[in-house]
A = this chain, B = another copy of it.
Amino acid sequence: MKAEILSVGDELLQGHTLNSDASELSKLITELGISVCCHTVVGDDPAALRAAVEAARGRAELIVTTGGLGPTYDDLTKETLSAAFGLPLERNADEESYIRDCFARGTSFQFTENNLRQADLPRGCTVLHNEYGTAPGCLFECEGTTVVMLPGPPRERIPLFRQKAMPLLRGRSGKCIRSRELHMMGIGESAMAERLSDLMEGSNPVIAPYTRTGECMVRLTATAESEEACEQLLTPAVREIQARLGEYIYGYNDATLESAVLELLRQRGMTIATAESCTGGLVAKRLTDIPGASDCFAGGVNVYTEAAKCSLLGLKQSFINEHGVVSAAVADKMARRVRKLLRSDLGVGITGWAGPGGEDVGLVYVALAWKGAEGKTLSCVRRLTLGDRGRDRVRIVAANNAFDMARRCLSGMEI
């Protein structure tokens, strides 16, 4: 079974809006065992949309449309699709009263009769009631083609597809596709691929390596007749990769380095504190992106200048002069001092040249301090030479290393 995603909107064609929906929907459709054969984007132009619908009917059995944002645009998509499939639009009474209720419950917007047109749906369709907004989606079948129309903004469209459309489409392809992602840090993509090369020759699950700034990932995708059968294919393959590369794996699926660290800290009832120079708050920001970080994040300092390193962490200017502001000694002292200052279990210190430009751009020292077995403070410093491949990259990779060191320390591994 093949699917096409048809997005409508001038703003997509002018490049001001990224078509992120198409990629999110593609993933979900692929999970259903249906292969996406084409994405098409057309403007707010009924003739272009009509032509795109006809082309899509010729190559796909499932067409998923995503409309524009306003009620006007939704109308364009609904009217054109209904006409293309010869189904008149009819007002749905339940949806009409839902829309009236939404406005009656009081929003900042004025009710106009025009809003009720959102309740007009193709005859005989299954309504996909949208509790995230006023415009419903719908699903209908006509002459061998299944059409799903999704309304409104992404935050309505994706949950609506996931919760209302996917259950109706499940099982249609006669197969099921499941993926598992294993995230790794501390090993390069090519080294990872080399150590998995025999597994990567298999075709079910498909095992493919990916790279991201400063870390890498392997995705396993299994195809079978049921979810259970997919799991039976995935489980031994995941175990084999764990056996080979376990120490590098920090998490699965949606995990991030920071969520892995926070989870380990939480399990152990421990806290972390940060002293950041070149990363300037990035480590703290990433930790506090996660709800409930306050349980484990004791706080931090952004000591971007030498003066701040002295005033906030009590480093001596003479010490900085002696070792250089970007040095293992300074990173180490930063980690130890911030740990002491905030009475945390772990302390992170990062100093480096993020660039752009400069002789030593990309040189970063990342330090971790923690309490050793006999109450003595232990520490470890990584020296990174990241070169001049962008300020953002230097900062991200430096932060990743801080998280990786914390993860390894908390897991009792060598750092």
With contacts A294-B304, A303-B299 taken as known, whether A43 is within 8 angstroms of B48 at the C-beta atoms is no
With contacts A23-B18, A39-B40, A48-B38 taken as known, whether A304 is within 8 angstroms of B299 at the C-beta atoms is yes
A52 to B52 CA separation, bound complex (whole angstroms): 11
B281→A343 contact, CB < 8 A: no
Q: A368 within 8 Å of B by Cβ?
A: no
Name the segment of A117-125, A129-137, A284-292, A402-410 touching the other chain: A284-292
The count of identical subunits is: 2
A19→B22 contact, CB < 8 A: yes
B27→A291 contact, CB < 8 A: no
Q: Which of B36, B51, B291 contacts A391 (CB 8 A)?
A: B291
A16 to B311 CA separation, bound complex (whole angstroms): 46
Q: A114 within 8 Å of B by Cβ?
A: no
With contacts A19-B22, A288-B280 taken as known, whether A312 is within 8 angstroms of B312 at the C-beta atoms is yes
Count of residues in A whose CB is under 8 Å from the partner chain: 72
Query: How close is A346's CB to chain B, nearest CB, in angstroms?
Result: 15
Q: Which of B12, B55, B299, B312 contacts A39 (CB 8 A)?
A: B12
A26→B39 contact, CB < 8 A: no
Query: How close is A280's CB to chain B, nearest CB, in angstroms?
Result: 3
Query: How close is A19's CB to chain B, nearest CB, in angstroms?
Result: 6
Query: How close is A322's CB to chain B, nearest CB, in angstroms?
Result: 21
Interface residues of A (CB under 8 A from B): 12-20, 22-28, 30, 35-43, 45, 48, 51-52, 55, 59, 210, 219, 274, 276, 278-285, 287-289, 291, 293-294, 297-305, 307-308, 311-312, 341-343, 354-356, 391-392, 395
Give the top 5 A-B pairs by smallest Cβ distance, nearest first: A280-B288, A15-B26, A299-B308, A281-B284, A281-B281
